[in-house]
Structure 1
Amino acid sequence: MFNKLVSFLVLFVTALPGIAQPREAIDFNGGWSFTLEDDLQFRHADFSAVNWKTVSLPHDWSIGFDFGEQYPAGNAGGALPGGVGWYRKTFPLAEKDKGSHYTLHFGGVYRYAEVWINGKYLGKNINGYLSFEHDLTPYLRYGNEQNVVAVRVDNSLQPNSRWYTGSGIYRDVRLEKRSPIHLLRAETFITTPEVSADKSTLRVQTVLNQAVSGKAGKLQLKLQDKNKKLIAEQTLAFSGSQFEEEISLGTVALWSPERPTLYDLNISLLDNNGKIIDELNYQVGFRYFHFDEQKGFSLNGKPLKLRGVCLHHDLGALGAVFNKSAAKRQLLIMKNMGVNAIRTAHNPPSEEFLDLCDELGFLVQNEAYDMWAKRKNKFDYHLDFKEHHIDDLVRFVKRDRNHPSVFMWSIGNEIREQFDSTGIAFTKNMTEVVKKLDPTRPVTAALTETNYEKNFIAQAQALDVLGFNYKYFDYDRLPTEFKGVPLIASETTSALQTRGVYDSVHDTIQLWPASSQDKFVTNGNSDFTVSAYDNVAAYWGTSHERAWLEVKKRDFLGGIFVWTGFDYLGEPVPYPYPARSSYYGIVDLAGLPKDVYYMYQSEWTDTEVLHLLPHWNWKEGESVDVWCYYNNADEVELFLNGRSLGKRSKTDDQLHAAWNVLFEAGELKAVKIKDGKAVQEVVKKTAGKPVDVIVDTEHDRYAVDGLTDLHFLTVSLVDEHGTIVPDSDMELSFIPQENVTVIGTDNGYQADLSSLSTPKRNTYKGLAVGIIKKQEINNVGKILIKTNIIEKEVIIK
C-alpha cells in the first residue's frame, strides 16, 4: 500500500494587478459588440457590426434570460439557455508602437472559443475554465487602420455540465504590450528551498522569449515589504534564455490564514544602461506545511484543521461573470464564518479569485477536472479529454503555481476511472506532469470508493494525499485500507435548506431523495422549499452537525470541505423544475446566511455567537421547535414573554441547544450563561405588518478598485418596531435616480423564476438583495426602492 508522509517547504507568489512600462496591460473589457446570431462572415475584418448590442466584458449572455423548462441543459444546468454568440471589438494602434509585442489574454470563455484578428484565424480554446492567450503581433495594423478582434463562442452542445456554466467571455480580457524581448510569465516560478525562524531562501526561475548574450542579459531582483522597505536586491548578468538564482534572506514574516503577510517581488530585465526592458511583479508569501497520516495537517509548524468549503464559480445574480468585489463579498462572508480553506469545485477558478485568496488568507485546493475520459454528461469535457487534458493541465499548473493560497492540486472529482484499471495510468501520468511543473505541492483527488482493491486511482500509488467524499461510515477504516497516506474529507454534508423556512423537526435526518433509485424527493414541500433546521440531506450526505463532528473528532483527517459554502445556479436537488438552483449552501444564492452559518461560526471562530431560530410569527398554540447556536458559554436559558422555559446546552453529539415551545405572540429571548452569569442575549419578536424597509449598502467591506466595484443593497422588510416581517413578502422595485445602474436582484429562493437581471424582486422571508453599480465612481449615486406602500431613496457613496 502507501508508505509516505508528505511535507512541503515552499514560497508562493501571485501577479500584481497593473503592470508598469514598458510592459503595459491595456484595458480591453469595454466597447465590444455582441450578437446571438451565428454566421462565419462575422469573422471578417470588413464586416459591419453596427446593429449588434454593445456590451462590456466580462459577459454572460445566459444569465439575462428568464428561467425556463425548455432549455436543453435542464434545471440541473440552471434552466437557462446556451447557444452560440459572437463578439467583435475594433481598436487602433499608434504608428510609434510598431515593433512592440502584443498578446491578447482571455481569463475564461465558456465554451469552445475561436478567435480571429483582422480576419486571421488564431485558434480554438477547448477548456471553458482555463485562461488562454494569442500572439497578435504578426497581424496588427498601425496608424489610421483599425484592428478587429472577432470571437465565436459555442455553448450549444448541452447538457455539458452538472451545474450552471454560463455562456460567453465571462472573465476579464486584456491586451498586453511588451518589449520584443520579454519575460515569459508562464515559465516563471518562484520557490523557497528553505524557510526557518532566522533564515529563508528565495529561488527565482524565469525564461525569456528569445536568447540574449551575456552583455545584454541582466536581471534585477527586488524584494520589498508592503511598507516599501527593501528586503533584498540583486542584479545579475546571464546569457541564453533561462535564468535561475537564489537569494539568501534573514527572518521573514510567514503567510497564514490568520495573518496573510505578503511581500512584493519585482523581476526586471535590464539593458546595458540599466534601463528596464521588461518586468514582472509578484506578491510573495512565505510558509511551509505538512500532511501527516496520523496527526493531520499543520501550517508553519502548528497543527491546523482545514475548515473548508467547496465553491462553484458562479456569483449568484451575476451568473458566470467574474467580478472581484462580488467574489470578495463571498470570501469575506466565508471568512467571518471561520473558513480557512476553499476547494474550487470542480474546475480552475479565475486568476483574480486566487489573488483575493492570497490577500485575504485562504488555503486553496485547486481542482482541474470533474471528469476524465468517462462522461458525466453527454457533451461534457470527456469528449476532449484524451486530446487536450495534458496540455490543459500544464496551462493550469503554470498559471496558478505562484499563488500563496494554492497549497494542493486536485486532478479530479469523483472520477469514474477509479472503478476500472484505466484510472491507474491516467493518475500516474497526470501526477507526474504536475510534479514536474511544481514539486512543492501535494497532488490529490476527491474519491468515493473506499475499498483499496476496487479503487484504481488509489492503486496508482501516485497521489500524496487522498481525499474522500462523504463515506462517514468508512472514516475509521480509511487509515487501514490506505496505509501510510494522509487523508482529508474532500467533500462532505450535502445538507439541504431554504433560508427562513422551518418545518417541524423529525427525530432522524430526512434523506431527500431517499436513495439512488429516486430522481426527486417524493414527500417534499409543494412550494419547493426545504426546512432550514439542519435535518434534511441528499441520500449520500448528512447534516452539517454530523459531518463536522465526524471530522472534528478524528485527528488523522486533515480537514473538511463542506458542500457548499454558497448556493449556486443549477443542480437543484431534491426537486424538479421550477427549482433552478441548489439547496446545499450554508449561504443562499443572494449572499444571505442560512441559520446553520452560525453553527459553523460558533465552532470555527472565537466570535461571540448567540443565534436563535426560527422567527416568531406562528399560529397561537402551535408547537415550535426552537434552536440556539452559541459558543464560549456553559448553557443557554430561554424566556417567552419573561417566563423561563429552562436551560439547555450542547452535547458531544449535538451542537445546538433545543426546546419545544407552544407559540404565543410576543418576545422570545435567549440568554447565554457562563460561570453562572448572563453574558449575552438575543431576542426574537413577533412582527406586525410591514411599514418600512431597512437598507444595508454593504460596500466598504467589498470595495476593490472603484472601477468594477458593486454595491450590494440588502433590503429588510420591517414593521413599525423595526422587526423583520417573515410572512408578508412584497415586490420591490430598484429604480435608478442618479449615477447608478441595476445589475441584478435576488432573494435566495431556489424556485424564483424571474430573471436575476430584472430590477424587480419579491422579498423572500422579509429579505432581498439589489446589486448596484455606480456609473461615475467619484460621484454619489441615488436609487429609489419602492413597494406598493413604501418608497425610500438610498444614497450610494
Structure 2
Amino acid sequence: MKNLISNKICKVTVLISTLFLNFSTVKGQEKISLDEDWKFHFGHAANPDKDFDYSKTALLHKSNVFATTVVNPKFVDTTWKKINIPHDWVVELPFVKSEQVEMDSHGYKPVGGAYPETSIGWYRKHFNVDKSKSNKRFELQFDGIYRNAEIWLNGFYVGTNFSGYVGNAYDVSDYINFDGDNVIVIRVDATQYEGWFYEGAGIYRHAWLNITDKIFIPNDGIFVHSEVKGKNATVTVETTVQNNNLKNANCSVLSYITDRNGKILATTSEQKIALGIRKDITVKQKVNINNAQLWSLENPYLYKVVSVVKFGNQIIHQTKTRFGIKTVKFDGKEGFFLNGKSIKIQGTNNHQDHAGVGSALPDYLQYYRIKLLKEMGSNAYRASHNAPTPELLEACDSLGMLVLDEQRLLNSSPEYIDQFKRLLKRDRNHASVFLWSIGNEEQNIQGNEYGKRIAQTLLAIQEDLDPTRTSTYAADMANDFKGVNEVIPIRGFNYREYAVADYHRDHPNQPLLGTEMGSTVTTRGIYEKDAIRAYVPDQDITHPWWASKAETWWKLAAENKFWLGGFVWTGFDYRGEPTPYKWPNISSHFGILDVCGFPKNIYYYYKSWWTNEDILHISPHWNWPEKVGQPIDVWVNSNADEVELFLNGKSLGKKTMERNSHLQWNVNYEVGTLEAIGYKKGKKLTSKVETTGTPYKVVLSPDKTILTADGKDATVINISITDEKGREVPVADNMVKFYLSGDAKIIGVGNGDPSSHEPDQCADGAWQRSAFNGKCQVILQAGKSSGTIQFEAKANGLQSATLNLKLIQ
C-alpha cells in the first residue's frame, strides 16, 4: 500500500511538473509587446483639413475603409514623428498663460477644447504576423489611452474606448493580414477632460498583441481568492474559458498553486467542460495550502496560480496569476486589522504623473515611487481618482503597500458600469488591493436619493464580482448620514476631521476612514510666502480653508481606535491644481514629496510617527546671510523623547517631545552650525545643519547603476550641488547640462519647482535643467545593447560629475 501511494504521488508530481515546464512554451500562445515603433501626428479638433479629413470623410459607411484616408493601411506616414509608448504628448507641450476654464488645474498645458490643434493625436503602427498562425485568435490590448480612443486595424473599425483610465481589449482575429503589413490606427481625442488635474494625453500605458488558441482564458478570466483557517488556507480558483470556434468544443481545466520559487504546492482535479459556439463557462476549483504564508506589509509573499486549458492531451492555453493570501477586517469601534493584527492606515493619495515624463511612466518609476512612500512609513496608497496602471499595482503587490482602488465616477450608466466591471475584474487578484472606492466628492448627488441609488447599484456589482472585499466612498461631508453614506459599508471622510468623532458617536458600528486628509501646502526649501513666484513655506503651517495641518488630522486619527487611519492629500506633488495660486504656478504644493520625489520637511513629521526609525530632523537650512541677528523659526521633527538645540555649541534649551507633534525654537541667526541632540529611551540622536560655502561641484546619486538592456528599464539620477566640503548648498540654482554616451536615452528632467516653466522634454537632445534649492533630476532609459553607459553632468564654473552605468542582457 505504501509503495502504491508513493507511485501515485510520483505520477502526479511528474504530471504537474510537466505542466509547469510547459507554461512558457505552449505552442502558439504569445503576449507580444506593441510598445515600439509607432508613428505620431497631431490632428485638429476644429479644422478637418488638419485632421486628415476625419469629420469630412465617411469612415464608418463600410466595414473596411480603403479610400484615401488615414485609416487606410497604405496611407503614407513616413513623415510622422517616430515614438515608442508609453507616450504622453502633453508633457512635451509648452506652458501657456491662459484664463481658459480648467487651464490652471491641468497645469497650464494647451490641451482641451480651447486648444484644438494640440488636443487630437493620431497614432499608426505596422506589424507582421506569420501565416502559420492563421488558425489562432488575435487580440489587441491597450492598458490605457487618454482618452476617447477610436481604433482601426487594416481599415476595419475595431472599437472606441471612452475611458482615459480603464484599458480594453479587442478580438481582431477576423482582420489580421497574413500576407503583408498589419496597420493599427488610433485617433485619440483629449478635447474633453475627465478630471480637474493634469491627465496628459495619448497612449500612455502599454499595448499588446495577444495570440491564443480559439479556446482560451479571456483577459481577466481568472479570479483567485482564499479563506484562512488557522495556519491553513483554502484557495478558490475561478477560471473562465471561452470558445471562439465556429462549432461546439470540449476541453478540460485544471489549476495548480506554486510558491514564489515555483515549487508546486497543490493542484486541482482536471474538470471536463462542454462549450457552445462563442460561449464561455466559469469553473470553480478549490485547493488547500498548509502553513500558508500570509501577504503582509513586512513580508509581501506572493503565490502563483497556473490555470491550464487542455484539448484532449494537448495544453492549448495557460495563464499565470500572482496572488496573496491575507485576512482583512474593518471594525467600527476597534479599527483595521490585517491578518489579525491591528494596523493604522498611514496612506497617501496620488495622481499618476511624475517629473519629466508626465503620465507616461516607465514601469521602473512605479516601483521607485512606492519605495519612496514606504521609506517614509506609508503603508497604503489611494489611486485618486481613477484606475491605476497595472504596473503600479504590481509594485504595491511586490513591495507591500495596501491599495484603495477607485472608480472614476459615481455613475451607474451602462458606460460607467462597464468601466467599473473592467476595473474590478482586472484588479481583484492583486494582493495589495484591500478596499474599493466607488467614487469621489460628487457634491450634486452624494447627499440625496440619486447618490444613494447609484451607490447601491455599484455596491451590488462589486459584491457580485468580488465578494471578498468591500467598498468606501470619498465624501466631502461632515456629520451627514444621507445619500451615499446611508448605504456605504466604510464611511470615507474627505477632510471634515472635526466631525469624525460626532459621526462615530451617532453611527458607532460603521467603520470610518480618512479618504483625504491634511492638504498642507509647502514648497521644498522655501521658508517665506512668495506670492510673486507662487511659493509657500516648507513647514506644516499653510492649508486651504477646506483642509487642515498634518498634526491636526493625524493626532485625531492616531489617538482614536475607531479611526481606521487615513490618506494624506498627497504623497507626491503633481502637475496642475496649483493651490493657493495660479500662474506662474503650474504644479501642486500638496505633496509630502515634490514632483521628483525629493522630501519636503513635512516628510519628516510623518516619518517620525509612521516608522520606528530614529528620526531627528532640523529645518530650515542655515544659509541666511541677509538675516544675521534676526530671528529664525526653527522646527525639529523627531520621535525622540526630548531634544536639546545648540547654536555654535551654545545650548538654546531642552524640550520634551509631545507624541505626534514637533518642537520649535526662535533663534537669532548667526553663521555656523545648528545642532540638535535628542534622547530616545536613553539612546542619543544627533542632527545638524550648517552654513555652507558657495556652489563648487555637481554630485550624482543614481537609484541603480545596473539596468536590463530591454529598451524599457530605467533609473533615476538625482543631482545635487555641493560646496567644497561636500555639503549640499540648499539655495543653489545652477543650470546643469547633461551628456550621455552608450545605448540609452534621457526621457525626462525635473527639479520640483512648482513654478518652473523649463521644459521637461528638451528638444534636439540638448538636455538641461536648473537646480531648485540644490537639486534636480534626470530619468534615463536603457537601450537594448549590453555595455557601458556614461552619463555626465556639467554646470558653468562648477566641478562636473561623471557616472558609469551598465546594461546587461
TM-score (norm 2): 0.88
Q: Secondary structure at the match of 2:327?
A: strand
* Residue 441 (structure 1) aligned with residue 469 (structure 2): yes
* Residue 80 (structure 1) aligned with residue 87 (structure 2): no
* Residue 782 (structure 1) aligned with residue 787 (structure 2): no
For 1:73-112, what aligned pairs fall within 5 Å after superposition?
A: 73-82=102-111, 83-112=119-148
Correspondence for 2:418 among 384, 391, 400: 391
1:75, 1:577 within 8 Å by CA — same for their partners in 2? Answer: yes
Report the CA distance between 1:20 and its aligned residue.
5.0
Report the CA distance between 1:120 and its aligned residue.
0.4
Report the CA distance between 1:272 and its aligned residue.
2.2
Distance, in Å, in 2 between the alignment partners of 1:465 and 1:251 is: 31
Distance, in Å, in 2 between the alignment partners of 1:62 and 1:73 is: 15
2:153, 2:183 within 8 Å by CA — same for their partners in 1? Answer: yes
Correspondence for 2:644 among 637, 641, 655: 637
2:517, 2:553 within 8 Å by CA — same for their partners in 1? Answer: yes
Q: Please, which moves more after superposition, 559-568 or 180-189?
A: 180-189
Q: Show the counterpart of 1:248.
A: 288
Distance, in Å, in 1 between the alignment partners of 2:258 and 2:591 is: 40
Q: Show the counterpart of 1:415.
A: 442
Report the CA distance between 1:625 and its aligned residue.
1.3
Correspondence for 1:575 among 581, 590, 593: 581
**Could you tell me which amino acid in structure 2 is paired with residue 767 of structure 1?**
K
Distance, in Å, in 1 between the alignment partners of 2:679 and 2:593 is: 28
**Could you tell me which amino acid in structure 2 is paired with residue 641 of structure 1?**
N
Q: Secondary structure at the match of 2:396?
A: helix
Report the CA distance between 1:778 and its aligned residue.
2.3
Q: After superposition, what is the alpha-carbon deviation per residue over 1:608-660, rounded to whole angstroms, capped at 9, x for unaligned?
A: 211111110112112111111122x32112111111211123225x6222211
Higher relative contact order (CA 8 A, sep 6+): 1
Q: Secondary structure at the match of 2:595?
A: coil
1:102, 1:176 within 8 Å by CA — same for their partners in 2? Answer: yes
Q: After superposition, what is the alpha-carbon deviation per residue over 1:413-456, rounded to whole angstroms, capped at 9, x for unaligned?
A: 11121133211211111111111111110111011223435x31
Correspondence for 1:772 among 746, 771, 780: 780
Distance, in Å, in 1 between the alignment partners of 2:135 and 2:702 is: 48
Distance, in Å, in 1 between the alignment partners of 2:258 and 2:195 is: 44
Distance 1:772 1:642, change over 3 A: same
For 1:32-71, what aligned pairs fall within 5 Å after superposition?
A: 32-37=38-43, 38-39=51-52, 40=54, 41-70=69-98
Distance 1:742 1:334, change over 3 A: same
Q: Secondary structure at the match of 2:337?
A: strand
Q: Secondary structure at the match of 2:446?
A: helix
**Could you tell me which amino acid in structure 1 is paired with residue 396 of structure 2?**
C
For 1:260-279, what aligned pairs fall within 5 Å after superposition?
A: 260-273=300-313, 275-279=314-318
Point out where structure 2 has 5 or more consecutive residues left out of the alignment: 1-22, 44-50, 55-68, 112-118, 275-280
**Percent of aligned pairs with the same amino acid:** 32
Q: After superposition, what is the alpha-carbon deviation per residue over 1:350-372, rounded to whole angstroms, capped at 9, x for unaligned?
A: 11111111111111110002x44
Report the CA distance between 1:495 and its aligned residue.
0.6
Equivalenced residues, count: 738
2:252, 2:270 within 8 Å by CA — same for their partners in 1? Answer: yes
RMSD: 2.0
Q: Show the counterpart of 1:406.
A: 433
Report the CA distance between 1:585 and its aligned residue.
0.3
Q: After superposition, what is the alpha-carbon deviation per residue over 1:706-725, rounded to whole angstroms, capped at 9, x for unaligned?
A: 54222211111111111111
Q: Secondary structure at the match of 1:680?
A: strand
Report the CA distance between 1:227 and its aligned residue.
2.4
Report the CA distance between 1:479 and its aligned residue.
1.4
Q: Show the counterpart of 1:118.
A: 154
For 1:421-460, what aligned pairs fall within 5 Å after superposition?
A: 421-453=449-481, 455-459=482-486
Q: Secondary structure at the match of 1:665?
A: coil
1:697, 1:796 within 8 Å by CA — same for their partners in 2? Answer: no
2:35, 2:206 within 8 Å by CA — same for their partners in 1? Answer: yes
* Residue 227 (structure 1) aligned with residue 298 (structure 2): no
* Residue 722 (structure 1) aligned with residue 749 (structure 2): no
Q: Please, which moves more after superposition, 531-540 or 736-745?
A: 736-745
Distance, in Å, in 2 between the alignment partners of 1:105 and 1:781 is: 33
**Could you tell me which amino acid in structure 2 is paired with residue 774 of structure 1?**
A
Report the CA distance between 1:348 and its aligned residue.
0.4
Correspondence for 2:801 among 768, 787, 792: 792
Q: Secondary structure at the match of 1:573?
A: coil
* Residue 327 (structure 1) aligned with residue 366 (structure 2): yes
Distance, in Å, in 2 between the alignment partners of 1:422 and 1:451 is: 19
Distance, in Å, in 1 between the alignment partners of 2:663 and 2:104 is: 37
Report the CA distance between 1:211 and its aligned residue.
8.8
Q: After superposition, what is the alpha-carbon deviation per residue over 1:276-335, rounded to whole angstroms, capped at 9, x for unaligned?
A: 210110112000111111001101111111111111111232101132111111100000
Q: Show the counterpart of 2:19.
A: none
Q: Show the counterpart of 2:59.
A: none
Q: Show the counterpart of 1:191.
A: 225
Correspondence for 1:336 among 347, 370, 375: 375
* Residue 174 (structure 1) aligned with residue 212 (structure 2): no
Distance, in Å, in 2 between the alignment partners of 1:623 and 1:414 is: 43
Distance, in Å, in 1 between the alignment partners of 2:299 and 2:632 is: 43
Report the CA distance between 1:605 and its aligned residue.
0.9
Q: After superposition, what is the alpha-carbon deviation per residue over 1:476-523, rounded to whole angstroms, capped at 9, x for unaligned?
A: 1111333421111111011100000113xxxxxxxxxxxxxxxxxxx8
Correspondence for 1:622 among 623, 626, 630: 630
Report the CA distance between 1:736 and its aligned residue.
2.0
Distance 1:581 1:20, change over 3 A: farther
Report the CA distance between 1:675 and its aligned residue.
5.2
Q: Secondary structure at the match of 1:239?
A: strand
Q: Please, which moves more after superposition, 24-33 or 320-329?
A: 320-329
Q: Show the counterpart of 2:60.
A: none
Report the CA distance between 1:232 and its aligned residue.
0.7
Q: Show the counterpart of 1:713.
A: 717
Report the CA distance between 1:244 and its aligned residue.
1.4
1:494, 1:563 within 8 Å by CA — same for their partners in 2? Answer: yes
Q: After superposition, what is the alpha-carbon deviation per residue over 1:369-398, rounded to whole angstroms, capped at 9, x for unaligned?
A: 2x446xxxxxxxxxxx73411111111111
* Residue 358 (structure 1) aligned with residue 394 (structure 2): no
TM-score (norm 1): 0.90
**Could you tell me which amino acid in structure 2 is paired with residue 153 of structure 1?**
V
1:740, 1:781 within 8 Å by CA — same for their partners in 2? Answer: yes
1:185, 1:280 within 8 Å by CA — same for their partners in 2? Answer: no
**Could you tell me which amino acid in structure 2 is paired with residue 33 of structure 1?**
K
**Could you tell me which amino acid in structure 2 is paired with residue 694 of structure 1?**
V
1:414, 1:448 within 8 Å by CA — same for their partners in 2? Answer: yes
Correspondence for 2:492 among 456, 467, 484: 467
Distance 1:61 1:19, change over 3 A: farther
Distance, in Å, in 2 between the alignment partners of 1:725 and 1:696 is: 15
* Residue 591 (structure 1) aligned with residue 597 (structure 2): yes
Distance, in Å, in 2 between the alignment partners of 1:211 and 1:243 is: 17
Distance 1:356 1:346, change over 3 A: same
* Residue 237 (structure 1) aligned with residue 271 (structure 2): yes
Report the CA distance between 1:533 and its aligned residue.
1.2
Q: Show the counterpart of 1:751.
A: 755
Distance 1:487 1:282, change over 3 A: same
Distance 1:236 1:737, change over 3 A: closer
